[in-house]
Structures are given as structure tokens and as C-alpha cells.
Amino acid sequence: MKIVRDRDGDAVRVALTGELDLASSDDVRSCLEEALAETRPARLLVDMDGVAFCDSTGIEALILARQAAVAQGTRLELVNVHGIARTTLEITGVLRLFS
Amino acid sequence: MRFRVLAIVAVAYTVGAQLAFVVFDADSIVVLFLPAGVTLSALLLRPRRDWPWILLTVAVLEVLIDVGHGLAPLSALGFAAANTAEPLTGALLVRRAVPGPIDLAQRRHLLAFLAFGVVAGPAVGALIGGTTIALDADRGWFSSFLPFWAGDATGALTVAGTVLTWRRSALPRAATAVLVTVAVTTVGFWPQHLPLFYLPIPLLFWLGFTQPLAVTMPAGLAMTVAANTLTGAGRGPWAALDGPIELKTATLQLFLAVAVLGACFLTVGVTERDRAVGAAHQLQQALLPAVGPQLPGIRVSAGYRPADLTHHVGGDWYDVFAAPDGRIGFAVGDVVGHNLAAAAAMARLQSALRVLAQTAAGPAEVLAGLDRASAVIDGAHMCTVAYADYHPPTRRLRYACAGHPPPLLLTPQGPEFLWEGRSMPLAIEPGPRPCAEHEIPTGAHLILYTDGLVERRGESLHAGLNRLAGTATTAAGQPGTDLTRSLLNRIPHGGPAIDDAVILHLIFEGASAPH
């Protein structure tokens, strides 16, 4: 999993590339929580354009990061969600949490 | 019984001691003393009242053998003292730490055996025996002590290890392992100037990883005997080494002991892991209810398929029970994680759901209640659940899915996924949950399942759902086919199943056409 963070106006964008699964979910979660703690942005955009696959542990990582965001007043949004990752998030009913 | 034991000890001790004199040549660099393990294991396996007889037998034999080989009577007495004090010390200390039956696959037992039976006991023996050699042969004390200790420790480890782990049922495998080990060790210890002595190590470690100690220990003993025999015959790298003889002796035994120990530790590690996984599997199996024909209006079958990875324990469950107003409640759920904690969380959620279903107005309220309950259940976060109830007189099915894949309904019109009543997994955000209703035609099938049945890496969940619908339709169209079995056996991964899966299969019968 490749994780790139940059500024996007008043938002912080974290772009994920690779498979969001058991092997990468801990990394993703800690990167997102780090970005939240260090930058405290109004919005944290998680760019899912490069995410080819997402399983339940990946979803859990996103949800836990979202809870950390809500706790400090940041909105965490998923952008460019498509393909298998989108289907998985839709079927599990969590996609609407992130838009 | 006592005489049989004494006879066995006498024969084994004599053979081992003769081997030390003849094959290993007590004057050469080889000092492997296998009888150390014979006496130690005899003491550890027999009650205390037999110990004096065992020790007396050993002492008498030691004196007879030594004198027979031309040693002075005083030296023979010294060795007799060494070879009785050593196992006595080891056995007393081991028995203090492990009073009951000894199982070397348990960490504590193995450590006690190593510390007391293999290290401390032989150290005592070497104190007496080394002093005897030093006085008798006029050698330096330390160069007498060290080989004695190393030789007895290796003998105690391999022989007592083999005897203490002996199982008749493992005999064929043990015999094969011994033959292969001897062959590989011979190859490793044949060339003198080509270091190949490590060749048996991967074999021994593989045995340690895959086989019980009853197979690994005899193989370790075989490697030790073969390596010492070849070295005694002048083969192998140790025979060609320069340097002080006691160091060569000690390092050869050390090498062999380290290899056997490595294999033992692997076995202990694997055994401990398997015990934990076994307990979790048992717990999970015990929590899945036996599905019987006692519920009116439906026929139910269910199945569970564990993941192929043996250390993988699932948090998947199903449940079927009677609910108020003549309804039948059924649920399938999936807890995040694959360990004992996940199985425990699953158990708590399952009980909570059953209780909630007795008072809640419908599936939506059951899930909302589970949301609240899961806040105080460790490990319930992100759990997905499908809950439905069925009212046979009105043929109404009510269902709600918390982040769970949709139930599959099979009717004469074809397969249909029930996509309504969806909401997110448990314990993420409180709030009301939607519920949907469906009228069920006679003879319809409903299939609830967990994602392990449909998920395949690198593939859309839709593709997995389509595959499930196809397989289920085919199986339902063939009377006499066990639909649950055929779905579970059709592993969707093309390889080992990486996730466990459960299936709950219901057939709705006609109100006036009971089977």
C-alpha cells in the first residue's frame, strides 16, 4: 500500500494506492490518524482512486479513522471510490458515512 | 513389573555402555554416553520405591563393565557413583518441578527436563566422573569434566527424550524418520574436508514442525548415534579437526544437542499454538446450534466451513429459534477478527440477539438493540448481522441486514437477492435501522450466509453473489441434493479458503402440506 499525503486548500488529502486489506489496514489507519493529529484540518479527504480491493478489515480501518476525525471536529470524506472498493462499501452500508 | 523394568534397564544400559567403549571408543574424541538417558528415563517413569533397585542395577552393571574393560576397581566405583548420582539428581529435581506425568511438548515440562535432567544432573555426574578420569588417567581436571558432561547431557537428552515421548502409534513414522535421518546424517558426516554436517538440521526441524515428539526424538537420537559412530570411525569434519580433544568432543555434542533442541522447541511452539486454536474451534462449534426439524412451517439446515488456515478461527455464526407470536427468528453474523476473542464476542452477540428478539417489535428493533448491546461487548465493533423472522400463518418474512451481504431467495421465478432493509455494521453509529418485508411463496428457499462464501480476492462482490445464485439454483433444482453441503464445498477462492463461512438454508413449506 502506497500512502501519499498533501494539502488541498483547507483540506488534507491522503491518496491510497494498492489493496486495502488485512496486510495494509493497520498502516492506513495509523497514517490517517497521524494526518489528523498533525494537521487538524477541517476536512480530511481519502482518495480511493488507486484502491483496487477493500475487505472488512479495510472498512474497519476507515471507520476507526472516521471516529477519530469526528472526535476532533474533522470531516473525513472518501473521494474517487469506484470498482470493487465501492461495491464493498455499498453492500456493507458504510459508504454513506463518508460522503 | 519391577523385574521387567530392571531387565530392560539392564539390557539397555549394558548395550549403551558397550557402545561407548567399543564403537565410540572411550579414549577417542567421542564420549557420547547413551546409558545416561536410560537411567534417567527409568527413574522418571517409575515410582520412587523402584529407584533404589534401578540405581543398584546400574551401579553393579557399571562396575562389571568397567572392570571387564580393564579399569581399576576404584575407578569403576567412581564411575558407578557418577552414573547413579547423576540420574538421581536429575530425576529428583525434575520430579520437584513436574510431579505428574511428563509431557515434553509442554513448555514447563521441557524446560524442567532440560535444566535438571540434561544440564544439572550430568554436571553432577561429570563432577564425580571427571574427577575419577583425572585421577585414573592423569589428565587435566577440566579436560576430563567437559567431555563427560557433554557426552552424558547429549545421551540424557536424546535417549530420555525418546523414551519419555514414546508412543506405539507413532512407531511406523518414527522408524521411517530414523532411517531417513541416518541416511542424511551419513551423507553429512562422511566427507572430512567438505563441511556438510548441517545437512540433517532441516530434516530434524521439519519433523519438529510437522510431527509429534514421538517421531522427532527418535530421529534426533538416530542423528546423534550416527554422527558419533561416523566420527568415532574417523569420518566427518570433527575427526579431521585440530585442537584440544575436549573442545572437539564438547562441540560435536553441543552441535547435536542444539539441533535436537531446535526441533523440540519448534514442536512445543506448534503444540501450544494448536492447543489455543483447538480450544477456539471447539468453542465455536459448540456455539453453533444443532438445527432440528422442530420448528413449524420451515425446514432448516445449516453448515459451517472453517478456513483452511489452521490458525484461523472464525467469528461466524448462525442461529434459529422460536420468536414471539408464532414467528421463527433466524440470524447469521460475522465478527471481525479470527481468534478466541472473536469467538467470545460472537457468543455474546448471539445470546444478546436471542434475548432481544423475544421482546423487540421486529428485525429493525433487534438490530438497533444489538447496536446498543455491542457498545458493551468487546470485539463487537463492525460486526455484520442479517436477522429475519418468519410468520408461517401469513407467510410474511421480515428482514434487516447490518452491513451483511443480502439474503438469497429462490422461488420458481428464479433467484433473487433481498437488497432492502440495509444499514451499516453494528456499533458504528446509533440510529434507527430499516427493515423490509417479503411474502414467501410455498416451496421457496431462503439462504443466509457470511461473506466467506462469496468473497474472492480481486473480484467484485457482485461476481461472487452471481456465482452463489447460480450454484444455489442448480442445487435447489435437483431433489435430494444437500444444498448447504454443495454450496460450502464449492470453495469460491480457487485455492485454500481464506475466510470461514456459514450457511443457513430454509425451505418454506405450504401451510397445509407438512412434510
Cβ contacts (< 8 Å) between A83 and chain B: which residues? 460
Q: What is the CATH number of domain B292-508?
A: 3.60.40.10
Handedness of CA B196, B200, B44, B61 (dihedral sign): negative
Handedness of CA B162, B167, B170, B171 (dihedral sign): positive
**Residue B350 carries which side chain, given as an amino acid letter?**
Q
Q: Which residues of chain B have pLDDT under 70?
A: 23-30, 292-293, 308-314, 491-498, 511-515
d(CA B328, CA B294): 11
Model pLDDT, residue B28: 53
d(CA B313, CA B293): 29
- Which residue from A84, A88, A94 is facing B424, i.e. has the nearest CB? A94
Q: Which residues contact B90 (CB under 8 A, 6 or more apart)?
A: B40, B43, B116, B117, B118, B120, B121, B122, B156
Identify the DSSP state of B128: H
Which of B335, B461, B466, B468 to mutate against chain A (most A CBs within 10 Å)? B461
Name the strand (E) or helix (H) holding B334.
strand B328-334
Model pLDDT, residue B462: 83
Say if the Cβ atoms of A87 and B462 lie within 8 Å: yes
Q: Which residues contact A83 (CB under 8 A, 6 or more apart)?
A: A52, B460
d(CA B303, CA B440): 23
Say if the Cβ atoms of A91 and B461 lie within 8 Å: yes
Question: 3-state class of B424 per DSSP?
Answer: coil
B492 beta partners: none
Q: Which fold has domain A2-98?
A: Transcription Regulator spoIIAA (3.30.750)
B83-B86-B89-B92 Cα dihedral, nearest 10 degrees: -60
For residues B79 and B26, the answer to whether their CB atoms sit within 8 Å is no
Which of B404, B426, B428, B433 to mutate against chain A (most A CBs within 10 Å)? B428
B117-B122-B127-B130 Cα dihedral, nearest 10 degrees: 170
Phi-psi region of B300 (alpha: psi -120 to 50; beta: other; left: phi over 0): beta
d(CA A27, CA B281): 29
Model pLDDT, residue B515: 40
Q: Which residues contact B175 (CB under 8 A, 6 or more apart)?
A: none
Q: Which residues contact B110 (CB under 8 A, 6 or more apart)?
A: B104, B264, B265, B268
Model pLDDT, residue B25: 56
Model pLDDT, residue B512: 44
Closest CA to A17 of A31, A38, A37, A35: A31
Say if the Cβ atoms of B425 and A53 lie within 8 Å: no
For residues A42 and A8, the answer to whether their CB atoms sit within 8 Å is no
pLDDT tens-digit series, residues B454-470: 877 777 788 889 999 99
Q: CA B468, B280, B405: angle at the middle one, nearest 5?
A: 25
How is chain A split into domains, by residue range?
2-98
Does the pLDDT at position A60 exceed 90? no
Say if the Cβ atoms of B382 and A97 lie within 8 Å: no
Three-class SS of B449-472: ECHHHCCCCCCCHHHHHHHHHHHH
State the residue for C-alpha cell 432448516: B300
pLDDT tens-digit series, residues B287-313: 788 776 678 888 999 988 877 655 556
d(CA B228, CA B189): 9
Residues from A contacting B (CB-CB < 8 Å) are 52-53, 55-57, 59-60, 63, 83-84, 87-88, 91-94, 96-97
Strands (E), chain A: 2-8, 11-20, 43-54, 75-79
Handedness of CA B173, B179, B182, B185 (dihedral sign): negative
How is chain B split into domains, by residue range?
2-279, 292-508
The dihedrals phi and psi of B491, each to the nearest 5 degrees, come to -65, 125
d(CA B437, CA A12): 43
The dihedrals phi and psi of B409, each to the nearest 5 degrees, come to -105, 130
Model pLDDT, residue B513: 41
Strands (E), B392-511: 396-402, 408-411, 414-417, 422-423, 436-439, 445-449, 501-508
Chain B residue closest to A92 (CA)?
Answer: B403
Model pLDDT, residue B45: 94
Say if the Cβ atoms of B406 and A56 lie within 8 Å: no
Say if the Cβ atoms of B382 and A52 lie within 8 Å: no
d(CA A97, CA B371): 16
Smallest CA–CA distance, residue A6 to chain B, in Å, is 28
